[in-house]
Chain A
């Protein structure tokens, strides 16, 4: 369970990223966070694994505060939280397998990982993860040779190899075409239902949010302005979150899928 208690974030330039956010996210939920650019979606997501330090409040992951965790505790908490980025964030010069194995570093002693001597069970886990996202044949390929959709599936495989209990996905489909978007979303949904992994995802397209999630959170200027089921999230609700009616480019469009 993830708990955010009175979380606020003020950036050094005075911009308010988050303001008094209180949330409880249970295990196994598929939560979409929607809102305009700059509404605080990324800030919220990055606060959860402390890629961003919050200004006040507390964030607990399974009863353990990540806000007050020591360096070592922080690494152990992060180990259980997978993250997927809009720009994939793979090391493009490294092989696909090495990128997936990098999800295992926090499980192994430093010297072993530096020498690239991962235990066989870790390698097996990484290969199995690649198979689950259907790119096992690319295991020894250089990551730069993969298409955008394939690269994003590698980063999903990394979270699988990481045996993450929570997956944070920051606009994972924003640089993908509609068909690949659907594959990536299906992969995330499959992991969510089969492995009972909590997924928290920032989405630009509201119809994707409605189709895939079990819960939608709307942010506006760092505040939670909506928190409910996809059924409750009507067009009027989105108009309120976005401060205006939805535009064509905020819908992926069913006909594209």
Chain B
């Protein structure tokens, strides 16, 4: 066997304590948050009667409601489709403007990022409520809200993908005398295209779920029926809607996942 005795001194082993402190700190923050909010696990037990009552009233689900709500479900899917597509188109210039390796003008990049972050901080439901107030209670409000919401997701994920691309092809495009647009089209686009398409599909998945509840604030789609059923305490209808939405979401997620697997 090899002689494993070292000739020189061993470098000092890095301390594990910072990591333990971090864990303890994190636990403390969670605990303090729970105390301030008054989250008491006992509430579940104390209110178990309500829960049982709700479940009882949910069964059997009102299957006939599915036929009634199918046009609204289709409208939800269309809203998500349009919202994602419009969002995709607008996110293209924004994602290039936000990437440090594309535009060297620091102020331009930082300004674009601030703009994108502002977009991203507005919750989708708030966007829908605002546009429902502006454009009227219609699917259009939902589409606009979803478009803006989509820009936030697609542009954010894509500009990070752009910043991680291989610099080599960019250098060779500079060397052949390409202008900025050609440089992007030949050096950047082929490298990010699969990622970009994957992010668009992922956003579509999120938008289906988001579109399903936008109706709660009057922005069209299946959410309008959720609002109605909940308002009438028709829990059997609510359950039918939940199951219906679940099936649609699962099917679309599966299709999208399959396509994304093929791409990457």
Indicate if B186 sits at the interface (CB-CB under 8 A): yes
Q: Is the CB of B178 within 8 A of A102?
A: yes
A92 to B190 alpha-carbon distance, docked (Å): 9
* B contact residues around A162 at 8 Å (CB): 176
* B contact residues around A105 at 8 Å (CB): 173, 176-179, 182, 186
Residue of A51, A91, A103, A114 with most partner-chain B CB within 10 A: A91
Q: Closest residue of chain B to A72, judged by CB?
A: B179
Q: Closest residue of chain A to B170, judged by CB?
A: A89
Report the minimal beta-carbon distance from A72 to chain B, rounded to whole angstroms: 9
- State the majority secondary structure of interface residues on B: helix
* A contact residues around B123 at 8 Å (CB): none
Report the minimal beta-carbon distance from A154 to chain B, rounded to whole angstroms: 11
Residue of B169, B176, B194 with most partner-chain A CB within 10 A: B176
Indicate if B69 sits at the interface (CB-CB under 8 A): no
Q: Select one of B168, B177, B187 contacting A75, CB under 8 A.
A: B177
Q: Select one of B172, B178, B190, B194 contacting A106, CB under 8 A.
A: B178
Q: Closest residue of chain A to B173, judged by CB?
A: A102
Which residues of B from 121 to 179 have beta carbons under 8 Å from A?
Answer: 166, 168-169, 171-179
A-B contact count (CB 8 A): 80
* A contact residues around B37 at 8 Å (CB): none
A82 to B175 alpha-carbon distance, docked (Å): 7
Residue of B168, B174, B177 with most partner-chain A CB within 10 A: B177
Q: Say whether, besides A79-B176, A158-B176, A89 and B168 are in contact (CB < 8 Å).
A: yes
Q: Is the CB of B177 within 8 A of A78?
A: yes
Indicate if A49 sits at the interface (CB-CB under 8 A): yes
Q: Say whether, besides A51-B171, A81-B175, A91 and B187 are in contact (CB < 8 Å).
A: yes
Report the minimal beta-carbon distance from B85 to chain A, rounded to whole angstroms: 21
Indicate if A238 sits at the interface (CB-CB under 8 A): no
Q: Select one of A76, A89, A92, A94 contacting B177, CB under 8 A.
A: A76
Count of chain A residues near B, Cβ 8 A: 32
* Interface range on chain B (Cβ under 8 Å from partner): 20 to 34
Residue of A89, A92, A98, A114 with most partner-chain B CB within 10 A: A89
Which residues of B from 169 to 215 have beta carbons under 8 Å from A?
Answer: 169, 171-179, 181-182, 185-187, 190-191, 193-194
Report the minimal beta-carbon distance from B126 to chain A, rounded to whole angstroms: 38
Q: Say whether, besides A110-B181, A113-B182, A103 and B176 are in contact (CB < 8 Å).
A: yes
State the 8 A-B residue pairs at the shortest beta-carbon distance, nearest first: A106-B177, A89-B168, A78-B177, A79-B177, A83-B175, A89-B172, A75-B177, A105-B182
With A83-B175, A102-B173, A110-B179 already in contact, 12 other A-B pairs whose C-beta atoms are closer than 8 Å: A74-B177, A75-B178, A82-B176, A88-B168, A90-B168, A92-B166, A94-B186, A98-B186, A98-B190, A105-B173, A105-B177, A158-B176
A-B contact pairs, 27 of them (CB 8 A): A74-B177, A75-B177, A75-B178, A77-B177, A78-B177, A79-B176, A79-B177, A82-B176, A85-B172, A89-B169, A90-B169, A90-B172, A91-B186, A93-B191, A93-B194, A94-B186, A98-B190, A102-B176, A102-B178, A102-B186, A105-B173, A106-B177, A110-B179, A113-B182, A158-B172, A158-B176, A168-B175
